[in-house]
Amino acid sequence: MAAFSLMAGTEDITLGDADGSSDITSLDALVVLQSVTGLTELSPEQLKAADVDGDNQVTSNDALKILQYVTGLIDDFADTAETATVTTVTDTEPPQTITEPIITTTEPPQTTTEPIITTTEPPQTTTEPIITTTEPPQTTEPVKTLPRSYKISGVTPIVQRGLPTGCEATGLTIALRWYGFNVSKEDMALKYMPRQDFTYQDGRKIGPDFIYTFAGDPARKSNSYGCYIPCMRQTIANYFSDIGCTEYTTADISGTSLENLFYYVADNTPVILISTNNLITPVTGDSWYTPDGRYVTWQRGHHCMILTGYDYSKNVVYVSESAYSYERTYNMDSFRNIYNLKGKNAMIIKKTKSDNPVISPDNDVYVTPFSDGDICVLKNTGSGKMLNVDYGRDENDVNVYQWTADNSTEQQFRMNLMSDGSYMIRTMCSSDGTNRTLDIVKSNGNIVSGANVDIYNPVDTIAQRWLFVKTGTNTYKIVPQYNKALALTALGNSNGSASGTDASSDGNVFVSDYTGSAYQQWTVSKIN
């Protein structure tokens, strides 16, 4: 098959190459449909390339012609691009070939439209992109170029009336209903959500860790608070288990920037996130002790929302939430600010095995190269030194840094593979790799660039879960699960120290924004 070019001044434009990739694929048809439905704007050159039927306008028929070309149903666009051939052949073809297309543009021969009817029916994948104008995307290609605007239809708000502190359960119900599950907000809140009420001992208020368990009772307003993403995911897991659903699961995408959440939205995937009521600034609220003695503090204004759309031209986002019976529109900058202040907490519901998987916006592929229990050493690619626990001390808050290889247990770590594909990286100098784990020192409850890495008891999912991205043979970028923009980083070539615990300390290990540096990549070798 050969495409032909349309001359635009001195620049060659390949008919059908609507995305400008120099190759004609089904993605070009998708780009045309996005233009037709207003999801994206094409440049003048792209518009000319997209107009394969030569009628001086870009329509869904152009997308169909591109798909027919890709699947071999037509050999080129010559039969349907008469006006294009006028420009193409002006300087090279006899006058007769110029005038004939001019005649046929006013009343095309029947044969130009018959192939649509008389040829064998194209494969399903050739027609599915046309459906995407109104239905969730069916193409096997994920969204790579973000449209300037997108809105998911049919995400109907549900008011949390009767559940004064049940915005999380109601938000989950909104999302589940959109996916076609017939579940009530009351069941999500009172039957499936892990929750724990408060007790008082020796003058102390004792309550749950709200990261994993709802604090209080969603049906009660006083002395009731809420929960975060791990608890919300467990709620859906409990529901799916109860109804025997294995087709769907959830994914924790906390740490993702608002702009990168838009990629999920553009893939027709509602994003469940934590914000505040009417975007008020979160303030410090009540505190209590957890059963294991930790002191936790709640933030007032906490609220669950469902991100359903965005529009860069209007600088707005669209959400469904439990406080209103209609879709809400918020200023994008204000929304981003509160989302960031609340720690970038977000999740999605997705198919267990999807034909159109939602991928990381930066195209990272998270791998699970180690089995649960594998013992490994981690060598920094830049310095050649090993990840090392200070003198192998089995204590909380002991610093982790790089050190010359010495084959000691302080440089050995046990990989603990979790059900969601993340790892806990446990030091072998703590109960033979069954207790203390690689830990990020949080700032105001968040994982931020420059945060130090130490070891700590396995009590904090947000600070202690890691993802691996393969960068070479046995070489990986090691990413905090709750802030995927960061990577485990070593500073320079020197050995570190117990006291050098900040991002400017020579030889120290911390997390920082990923730049592709060799000091942010680790060769991981299994030793057992």
Q: DSSP letter at 315?
A: T
In angstroms, the Cα distances linking 147 to 38, 327, 357, 389, 425 are: 9, 21, 18, 46, 38
- CA-nearest of 343, 299, 296, 323 to 196 is 296
- CA-nearest of 153, 10, 21 to 91 is 10
H or E stretch at 167 = helix 167-178
Which residues are paired to 309 by β-bridges? 151, 318
**Model confidence over 343-401: pLDDT tens digits?**
999 999 988 754 444 444 455 778 889 998 999 999 999 999 999 999 999 999 999 99
Domains within the chain, CATH numbers bracketed: 5-138 (1.10.1330.10), 150-351 (3.90.70.10), 366-526 (2.80.10.50)
Count the residues in the chain: 528
Tokens of 486: 């960061």
Q: What is the pLDDT along the chain (528 residues), one digit of tens a residue?
A: 333 333 333 344 677 888 766 678 777 787 788 778 776 677 777 788 888 777 778 888 888 888 877 776 666 664 443 333 323 333 333 333 333 333 333 333 333 333 333 333 333 333 323 222 233 333 333 445 688 999 999 999 999 999 999 999 999 999 999 999 999 999 999 999 999 999 999 999 999 999 999 999 999 999 999 999 999 999 999 999 999 999 899 988 888 899 999 989 988 999 999 999 999 999 999 999 999 899 999 999 999 999 999 999 999 999 999 999 999 999 999 999 999 999 999 999 988 754 444 444 455 778 889 998 999 999 999 999 999 999 999 999 999 999 999 999 999 999 998 877 889 999 999 998 889 999 999 987 788 999 999 999 988 888 999 999 998 888 999 999 888 889 999 999 999 999 999 999 999 999 999 988 999 999 999 998
Neighbouring residues of 58: CB distance < 8 A, sequence distance ≥ 6:
32, 35, 36, 42, 47, 50, 51
Per the CB < 8 A criterion, the answer to whether 464 and 416 are in contact is: no
AA identity, residue 262: F
Q: In terms of pTM, does the model score above 0.75?
A: no
Give the per-residue SS3 of 260-283.
HHHHHHHCCCCEEEEEEHHHCCCE
